[in-house]
Amino acid sequence: MFEDHEPHKGGAARVLAVVNQKGGVGKSTTAVNLAACLGGLGKKVLLVDLDPQGNATSGFGLNRGERQQCVYDALLGDVPVEQLIEPVEVEHVFVIPATIQLAGAEIELVSAFSREAKLKSMLAPIKDDFEYIIIDCPPSLGLLTINALTAAEGLLIPIQCEYYALEGLTKLLDSFRLVRTHLNADLTVFGVVMTMYDSRTRLSQQVVEEVRDFFEDKVFDTLIPRTVRLSEAPSFGQPITLYDPTGKGADAYRSLAEEVVSRV
């Protein structure tokens, strides 16, 4: 159980929001596997699922059985956040799950007091208990995502190696600047991770070049390859490090985790 773990000794957690308002670019895959690989490096990690779809929750096998409570209950209800933290199969890794109940939050937040800072307040009492807090965002720039941007110190932006990869990113960067100006002066773009890279196609290479021209050294050296194993793992409720520990996908996410740690 969560209570059995000693808080880590290094001060407040680094809070990273995995964000891109496009769906299907690899946010949840990155959130789950990065969390697992940071755990593998001995880092104490909390993954907060902020998407009503709950893909990060089910990605860690937490969707089974009926769940009474989810992140919603601490965000907009009065359930203490500590009660929502669940251990997973990977040592050092914990998850605050999301259920479809969170879908209502987007509307309820509109009229809530201090509506952009709900997640920040929710995380405040547990920030010292983890080294990393990773937030998996929904595919929109609505209030849930704005809450993630307000609570985070860095954005981790997955970009799929596909046509129009950069399309829509100006909108995300507009939101980033607005949040930085009005709500969270410390927010930075922590890094950009290229996902579903296919080394055999010229397109993948072109997209990486294009994104590197735009984001320069924000782009991680690690390229996440497109592999069937990465797409299969969630249906087994396992991160890639358990489902296919010796494959290319696990190697890539381990290497990404090392880059993340070295940037911090």
Ligand X SMILES: Nc1ncnc2c1ncn2[C@@H]1O[C@H](COP(=O)(O)OP(=O)(O)O)[C@@H](O)[C@H]1O
* Site residue total, ligand X (CB under 6 A): 17
258/127 Cα distance (integer angstroms):
22
For residue 43, how many other CB atoms are within 10 A of its CB?
22
Residue type, 8: H
Binding-site string for ligand X from residue 46 to residue 85, where x marks contact by CB under 6 A and - marks none: ---------x------------------------------
195 pairs with which residues across the strands? 160
Query: Counting Cβ atoms within 10 Å, is residue 62 exposed (0-12), middle (13-18) or buried (19+)?
Result: buried
Which of residues 133 and 252 has its CB atom nearest to ligand X in the complex? 252
236 binds ligand X (CB under 6 A): no
The secondary structure of residue 98, as a DSSP letter, is -
Q: Which of residues 183-222 bind ligand X (CB under 6 A)?
A: 195-196
Residue in 15, 17, 26, 27 binding Mg ion, rule: CB under 5 A = 27
Taking the alpha carbons at both ends of the chain, their separation in whole angstroms is 28
As measured in angstroms, the least distance from the Cβ of 88 to Mg ion is 17
Q: Which of residues 53-82 bind Mg ion (CB under 5 A)?
A: 55
As measured in angstroms, the least distance from the Cβ of 60 to Mg ion is 13
For every residue of 141-207, DSSP letters joined together read -SHHHHHHHHH-SEEEEEEESSTTTTTTHHHHHHHHHHHHHHT-TT-EEEEEEEEEE-TT-HHHHHH
169 binds ligand X (CB under 6 A): no
CA 144 to chain centre: 13
139 binds ligand X (CB under 6 A): yes
27 binds ligand X (CB under 6 A): yes
Part of the chain binding Mg ion (CB under 5 A), chosen from 21-29, 146-154, 165-173, 250-258: 21-29
Residue in 21, 58, 184, 227 binding ligand X, rule: CB under 6 A = 227
Do 256 and 195 meet the contact criterion of CB atoms below 8 Å apart? no
Query: Which residue's Cβ has the minimum distance to Mg ion?
Result: 28
Do 145 and 157 meet the contact criterion of CB atoms below 8 Å apart? no
Instruction: Single out the residue of 173, 182, 202, 199 nearest to residue 252, CA to CA.
Output: 199
Binding-site string for ligand X from residue 97 to residue 136, where x marks contact by CB under 6 A and - marks none: ----------------------------------------
Binding site for Mg ion (CB under 5 A): 27-28, 55
Binding site for ligand X (CB under 6 A): 23-29, 55, 139, 195-196, 224, 226-227, 230-231, 234
